[in-house]
Each structure stands twice: as C-alpha cells, then as structure tokens.
C-alpha cells in the first residue's frame, strides 16, 4: 500500500534521481564513479552486519513492563524498582539459544537465554540468566574452553559430540546441568512456556544497610510445556524460526505472555553454614530451606519495530546493577562482570549505551566523552570532575556495601566436590519413571555420536556416581555395560 508520494533520498537527504539504473558512459559503457548514490548504496550494504554474539547469537526480543505485587519485598532491598506495591518499570527481554549461529534453528536441545533489562528510575538493571537455575561450570576461567566444545571443530567446521562429551566427562561439575539439558526441559515448546532464572546468587542491600543473598526465579504463567525431540527435529528442518515466530505472533494477537518473579532469600550470615556453597552456580538452593517469595509480574506486550535496532543491538550485562543490588563472590559471575561490557564495546561500539534500546530512562550525567558514534556528547558542558561548574557529584550513599575478605590470594578451587547428590535428587525424586526413561534415551542418543569409547566409559562412571540406575539406563540403550568404578 503506497501511503505517500515522498521523494526517495540519499542518506544525506538529497533527492535521488534514479534508483533503478546506474549511471554509465553511454548505453553499453562502464559504470561511472560519479554515481555517488550507487557507491554509497553498495558500500552501506557491505557494512550491514555487526559481529554476531559469540554465544547466544540466535534470539528473539520483546518489550513489556514489570509490576511489583509484594509490598514487603522492599524490606530486603532498597532497589527503587522493587520499592512499593504497584510500581511499574518498563523492560525489554531477549530470549536466545546458546551454541547456534545467528541463523540456526530454534528447536534444538540447548539452554535458552533469558536476558531482562529493567529501565528503572535509577538506571538500567539487567538480569542476564537462562531457563535453567544452574550452569555447566562454576569458574569463568573454563568458559571459553567449554564454549569451544559447543561450537565447531577447527578443521571440519562441524559440531562434534566427541569434544562435547570429552569436556563434560572431564568436568564432573557439569552433571547437574547436563541432566536438565537432556531431560524433557531441554527443548521448550515455546519461549512462553519456560521459566527463567538469574542462576547466580546476587546480593540485596536494604535501606538499613542489611544484606541478603538472593536468587531470581521467573515462573511462567503459561505453564511449562516442552517439545519431544522427534517433533523438535522435524520443526528445526521445516520451520527453523518457530520459537521466534510464536513469540511475535502471540504478542501481535494480544495474547501477552507473563512471568511471576519470585526470589529465594538467604540471610547473609547463613551462607557459611549452608550445605552447599551458595555461590556455586552448579548448585540450587533447596526450596524447603529457602522458599520462593513473590516479587511481582512481568508482562510482554509489545513487539520490536525493528529487529536489528532493538534485538541485535541490545546489550545486556550482569554488571548493570542499581543501588540495592550487588555482585556475590560467585566465580562465574565475577568473570561475567568483565565479559559482557567488553563484548558490547567490540560488537556494537564504545557508545552502545547511547542507542535507544540500551539507553536508560534515567538521565545520564557523567564526564565520559567522544568515541565512535558519540551522539549525546554533553554539548558545551565541562568534561572533568571535580569541577566548579556543573554540580554533578558522586553520591556515597549509593556506593556498594563494604564487605570483608580474608585468606591468601591464590588460584583456589571451590572446596565442595559433591557434584552428584543434586542431580541424583532431581532424577530419582523429581522426575517420574517416564521422564527418567526419556532422560536415559536422550543421553544415549547424544553419546552415540562419540567416537572415542574411553570418553563414553568415563561418562558412564560419572553417571554411576550420580546413581547406578542412570548409568545402567544409558548403557542399556548403548548396548554397553557400565565399567567398574
Ligand atoms: C551472552 C560470556 C556465562 C547467559 C554472552 C556473551 C558473552 C558471554 C561474551 C555475548 C554478549 C554480547 O555480545 O552481547 C559469558 C561468560 C560466562 C557466561 C564469559 C562465564 C564466565 C553465562 C551464564 C549465563 C549466561 C552462567 C546464564 C546464567 C547469557 C545470555 C546471553 C549471554 C542470556 C545473551 C544476552 C543477550 O540476549 O544479549 N555471554 N557468559 N552466560 N550469556 Fe553469557
């Protein structure tokens, strides 16, 4: 439908005389360099791509809002977005798969990214989590190696179960997450039918300066629904953007998905006594020990108008905190505090926070200037601090809460090595018999691609330490016997 008769222009706003025929020397002559519209059009096209995210490249996003429903939550944190019942904060979410490239299929067995940006009155607060409460590894120093195994072999550019299981079988801390991954929950039916988690432990600080350890749970109000692997494979071939389209269509049709945000809260002093290291991201906290407390509701009610501007250029960082929320000593989280902003400076640019999708709703006042694509550049204001003119000062009351550290600086491992009891509980007490059967089959189907038998044997020994039923269940599907442990 033609809506108006405006003139086509160049990117500098001048009318374009011909957008169909390039300027040539005569009818059959060569093209002239004088056709600057042609030159600019071709050159701009060459620069349309920015590097895709090194992980979580394939994603879908939506706008929405978050509303506090629990008037008591402010007793745990002074964060303004949680300060009073009914308080509404605009937000943006990006869902993603982890290992695949930008054009890869949606319905694969993979964790799903669940990255939320709250545009609060005190600056942007990001929770950059997954649809699983835990992770494969627990120290940032292992992350690049782990991700290499999820991607492609240097020589063949093929994915390879051999390297995936080589790494997992040598990293027993992965047992809990690979159990979730190969369970029914490993392939969600849609992005609307899965929970989201902050996964790490964070610190909340209240107005009185008391601090608490906190874990975030976004519980889907649509109910959890998963997809069986056969359907998922078929859809991956026939309709690779299935989840992206489902989310877009649901919102377009007014069927707005929502999640209830709940938290587990641990008083600061209980961390030292807890059965598991509460900062180890491969472990959950028992809901009996720390029950879920409702915080509020998140509703997605608006689709992006432009995928590149809003979804591809969105930049989420676990380091985007607001007063009242701080980091914990989780060694994965600590590494992530560096990795994301660094990725954003490389992938989108130094001034990525000036783009509308990343720009806070709160006013930005500082003395950072210039750099590529600087747009809001402070005008004629002074660019240093302290100064005698602009009155912009740090606010000590918003500084992080001081905390004690002790011990020697060293490369120290986590002191707990029980990687078995939590997946055991999940398999034997939470999963039904049918779910257990499907878990064994999914593990075996994946392990079948491993060339090196010693890797399978090593993994079966680990499975045996989780529970003999698991090792035998998987081995039976593989026509193998469980090696003696
Ligand atoms: C994306 C690094 C662990 C969830 C990314 C990106 C990097 C990265 C570099 C791309 C960022 C961008 O280009 O915008 C790391 C490192 C980790 C780690 C170094 C461990 C030390 C985790 C964990 C979770 C997670 C434990 C979940 C609990 C995500 C999500 C995204 C992402 C959801 C996509 C964000 C978006 O939608 O833009 N990660 N990651 N990552 N990561 Fe991690």
Atom number, ligand 1, closest to the C-alpha of residue 142: 21
CA atoms of 147 and 362, how far apart (whole Å) = 35
Read off the pLDDT band of 416 (50, 70, 90): confident
303 is catalytic: no
Closest-CA residue to 56 (of 136, 125, 111, 93): 111
Give yes or no for residue 417 having a pLDDT over 90: no
CA–centroid distance, residue 198 to ligand 1 (Å): 12
CA–centroid distance, residue 55 to ligand 1 (Å): 7
Tally of CB atoms within 10 A around 62 = 25
Q: What is the pLDDT of residue 111?
A: 98
CA atoms of 11 and 192, how far apart (whole Å) = 39
Provide the percentage of residues in the chain whose pLDDT is more than 70.
99
Would you say 76 is a known binding-site residue?
Answer: no
Give yes or no for residue 3 having a pLDDT over 90: no
Query: Number of C-alpha atoms within 13 angstroms, CB side, residue 295?
Result: 27
Closest-CA residue to 63 (of 84, 93, 42, 87): 93
Q: What is the pLDDT of residue 260?
A: 99
The residue assigned the tokens 């990214």 is 113
Read off the pLDDT band of 456 (50, 70, 90): very high
Read off the pLDDT band of 2 (50, 70, 90): low
Catalytic residue among 124, 130, 226, 320, which? 130
Closest-CA residue to 315 (of 356, 354, 358, 346): 358
Positive or negative, the Cα torsion across 33, 38, 42, 45?
positive
Looking at the chain, the domain(s) classified CATH 2.40.180.10 span 59-135+188-359
Q: Which residues are 129's β-sheet partners?
A: 114
Positive or negative, the Cα torsion across 324, 329, 334, 336?
negative
Ligand 1, atom 34, lies closest to the CA of: 56
Element (H, E) at 299: strand 293-302
Label residue 223 left, alpha or beta by phi (over 0 means left) and psi (-120 to 50 means alpha). left
56 is catalytic: yes
The pLDDT tens digits of the residues spanning 392-410 come to: 999 999 999 999 999 999 9
Ligand 1 pocket, residue 263 CB under 6 Å = no
The pLDDT tens digits of the residues spanning 276-302 come to: 999 999 999 999 999 999 999 999 999
CA atoms of 302 and 257, how far apart (whole Å) = 11
The whole model's pTM is what? 0.97
Tally of CB atoms within 10 A around 142 = 18
CA atoms of 256 and 204, how far apart (whole Å) = 30
Domain 59-135+188-359, CATH: 2.40.180.10
Atom number, ligand 1, closest to the C-alpha of residue 198: 28
ipTM of this complex = 0.98
Catalytic residue among 37, 56, 176, 243, which? 56
CA atoms of 97 and 101, how far apart (whole Å) = 9
Label residue 371 left, alpha or beta by phi (over 0 means left) and psi (-120 to 50 means alpha). left
């Amino acid at each position: 439908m033609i809506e108006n008769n405006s003139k086509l222009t160049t990117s500098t706003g001048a009318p374009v005389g011909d957008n169909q025929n390039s300027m040539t020397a005569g009818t059959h002559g060569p093209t002239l360099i004088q056709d600057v519209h042609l030159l600019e059009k071709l050159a701009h096209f060459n620069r349309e791509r920015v590097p895709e995210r090194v992980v979580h490249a394939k994603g879908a996003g939506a706008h929405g809002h978050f509303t506090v429903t629990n008037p008591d939550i402010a007793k745990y944190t002074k964060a303004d977005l949680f300060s009073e019942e009914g308080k509404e904060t605009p937000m943006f979410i990006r869902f993603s798969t982890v290992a695949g490239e930008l054009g890869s299929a949606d319905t694969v067995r993979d964790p799903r990214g669940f990255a939320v940006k709250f545009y609060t009155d005190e600056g942007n607060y990001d929770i950059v989590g997954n649809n699983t409460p835990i992770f494969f590894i627990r120290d940032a120093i292992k992350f690049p190696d782990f991700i290499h195994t999820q991607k492609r072999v240097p020589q063949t550019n093929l994915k390879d179960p051999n390297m995936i299981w080589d790494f997992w079988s040598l990293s027993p801390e992965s047992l809990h997450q690979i159990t979730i991954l190969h369970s029914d929950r490993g392939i969600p039916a849609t992005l609307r039918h899965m929970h989201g988690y902050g996964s790490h432990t964070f610190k909340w600080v209240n107005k009185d300066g008391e601090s608490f350890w906190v874990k975030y749970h976004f519980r889907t109000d649509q109910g959890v629904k998963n997809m069986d692997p056969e359907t998922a494979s078929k859809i991956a071939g026939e309709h690779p953007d299935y989840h992206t389209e489902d989310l877009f269509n649901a919102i377009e049709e007014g069927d707005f998905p929502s999640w209830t945000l709940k938290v587990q809260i641990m008083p600061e002093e209980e961390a030292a006594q807890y059965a598991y290291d509460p900062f180890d991201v491969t472990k959950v906290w028992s809901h009996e020990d720390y029950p879920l407390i409702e915080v509020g509701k998140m509703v997605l009610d608006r689709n992006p108008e432009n995928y590149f501007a809003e979804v591809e250029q969105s930049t989420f960082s676990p380091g985007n905190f607001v007063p009242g929320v701080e980091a914990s000593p989780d060694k994965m989280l600590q590494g992530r505090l560096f990795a994301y902003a660094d990725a954003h400076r490389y992938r989108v640019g130094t001034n990525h926070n000036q783009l509308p999708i990343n720009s806070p709703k709160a006013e930005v006042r500082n003395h950072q200037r210039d750099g590529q694509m600087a747009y809001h550049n402070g005008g004629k204001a002074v660019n240093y601090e302290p100064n005698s003119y602009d009155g912009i000062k740090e606010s000590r009351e918003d500084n992080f809460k001081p905390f004690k550290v002790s011990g020697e600086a060293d490369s120290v491992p986590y002191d707990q090595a029980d990687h078995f009891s939590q997946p055991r509980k999940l398999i034997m007490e939470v999963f039904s018999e049918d779910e257990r059967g499907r878990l064994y089959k999914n593990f075996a189907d994946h392990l079948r691609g491993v060339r090196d038998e010693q890797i399978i044997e090593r993994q079966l020994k680990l499975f045996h330490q989780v529970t003999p039923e698991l090792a035998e269940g998987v081995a039976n599907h593989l026509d193998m016997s469980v090696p003696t442990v």
